[in-house]
Structure 1
């Protein structure tokens, strides 16, 4: 315990952190803090994504292929029952299984689509907050570096004013050094986190595309019972007109139009 306390005191008193703080002043403390927060957020995102990222695995590909051939005969729940513990953590599996089961049970297709869009958004929501944190850090670090630059220049001019313009180079170098140090630290923090934010956003777009493609493959094929019911309704003109009126006034279509990420999943 004594050695750990000694190591911590060495890092904070005479170690690299103390040197950085002495170079940049209080702004450097804030930059170091947000850098640690960004690294912790990125590690959490990677660990969480390794288990809970929606993945279109081979079992799901076989399930969708069988669904497209014969929706009524597809054993949907068997896919979830036979999945491994790692496979059950896949949100896309539960999304597809629940959607297919609802279609087989004769649920209104519009309601099923509405539920599918909501569940897809819920599956992607845990990834949006860490991405926003990393984006904020990438945008905030240069501003903090600029703040440190202004504070350092103010210190330099304050030293010059205190000596009535007769300050030497050693008196001015402290403030200028602090200004340059905070600017460099802000850029060092901002550049990698900006690259990470762009990479994470690219990954999320690919996940959106995967979910859209999977849902489109499901909704393009209706169960046999729904096809028979639609054919029977087509022989009755008055109920068909009523159904068309309900469809035109259904707010679900507006919901899909207002969700561009999952608009293709609406069919």
Structure 2
């Protein structure tokens, strides 16, 4: 009774193990290497997703709101708004605002912010190189396994002599092509996820550079105020103001 219960409650795992064993037997060591590479790639991707979630790479609103408070002259509120956030953009922005608020030289403040930003981006890019290697090698290993399988299939065909059986050739060919299929199955999602992760880091680097730079610059998109128009050089004033003088 207990054996029957175990058999009925765990058919899926046993079926998966049987299919995996058949796959390894048909594909040989090349498929085993590709499966190991897929496990490594999946582990790295899961770790990167956890890391990105931990630092909240998509949290842009906090940095934008802190910058708005800073530009409106509410320096204390802007600095308070950045506290507690683990987002790298917010932390870089906070460093820039603190440096400006303390009256430090702009060059020194920028240098420190660049140092922090470079360190954070390097940490976030950690693990990308192994993913690139796996994405590049997986199709090549699959092709290598296919070539070896085709050689084996034609050797069997040659050994058969006049007693040629089409099943020998067809069976050898599908086993040979199996490694290419596994290699592509490993490479395609790895490339897609790697590009998505790289895009997230590039977007973070752009936001960091864009928002931090605004701490040291003025918004030139707004219209001149009446006081600014009065003190502006004549060649820069609007036509209506210059005509009335």
- Please state which band the TM-score falls in when normalised by the shorter chain: 0.7 to 0.9
**Could you tell me the TM-score, scaled by structure 1's length?**
0.68
Q: 1:201 aligns with which of 171, 177, 198?
A: 198
Gaps of 5+ in 2: 1-5, 219-245
Aligned length: 211
Contact preservation (8 Å) 1:146, 1:182: yes
1:220 aligns with 2:217: yes
**Could you tell me the TM-score, scaled by structure 2's length?**
0.74
Q: Deviations over 1:144-175 (max 9, x none)?
A: 11010111012123323445575533443443
Which region of structure 1 is more displaced relative to structure 2, 165-174 or 21-30? 165-174
Q: Secondary structure at the match of 1:70?
A: coil
Q: Which residue of 2 aligns with 1:60?
A: 63
Q: Secondary structure at the match of 1:129?
A: coil
Contact preservation (8 Å) 2:93, 2:208: no
Q: 1:33 aligns with which of 32, 36, 44?
A: 36
Residues 173, 59 of structure 1: alpha-carbon distance in 2 compared, 3 angstrom cutoff: closer
Contact preservation (8 Å) 2:97, 2:215: yes
Which region of structure 1 is more displaced relative to structure 2, 55-64 or 96-105? 55-64
Q: 2:119 aligns with which of 101, 108, 122?
A: 122
Q: 1:22 aligns with which of 20, 25, 48?
A: 25
Structure-1 separation of matches of 2:127 and 2:193? 11
Contact preservation (8 Å) 1:145, 1:186: yes
Residues 188, 165 of structure 1: alpha-carbon distance in 2 compared, 3 angstrom cutoff: farther
Contact preservation (8 Å) 1:59, 1:79: yes
Contact preservation (8 Å) 1:151, 1:179: yes
Q: Which residue of 1 aligns with 2:148?
A: 151
Q: Which residue of 2 aligns with 1:95?
A: 92
Q: Deviations over 1:203-235 (max 9, x none)?
A: 2222122111111111215xxxxxxxxxxxxxx
Structure-2 separation of matches of 1:201 and 1:59? 22
Max Rg structure: 2
Contact preservation (8 Å) 1:143, 1:186: yes
Contact preservation (8 Å) 1:25, 1:178: no
Residues 17, 108 of structure 1: alpha-carbon distance in 2 compared, 3 angstrom cutoff: same
Using the TM superposition, give the Cα deviation of residue 34 of structure 1 relative to its aligned residue in structure 2, in angstroms. Answer: 0.8
Contact preservation (8 Å) 1:91, 1:123: yes
Q: Secondary structure at the match of 1:106?
A: coil
Q: Which residue of 1 aligns with 2:165?
A: 168
Q: Which residue of 2 aligns with 1:182?
A: 179
Residues 56, 74 of structure 1: alpha-carbon distance in 2 compared, 3 angstrom cutoff: farther
Q: Which residue of 2 aligns with 1:249?
A: none
Using the TM superposition, give the Cα deviation of residue 202 of structure 1 relative to its aligned residue in structure 2, in angstroms. Answer: 2.1
Q: Deviations over 1:79-98 (max 9, x none)?
A: 354x3xxx2x2222222212
Using the TM superposition, give the Cα deviation of residue 50 of structure 1 relative to its aligned residue in structure 2, in angstroms. Answer: 0.8
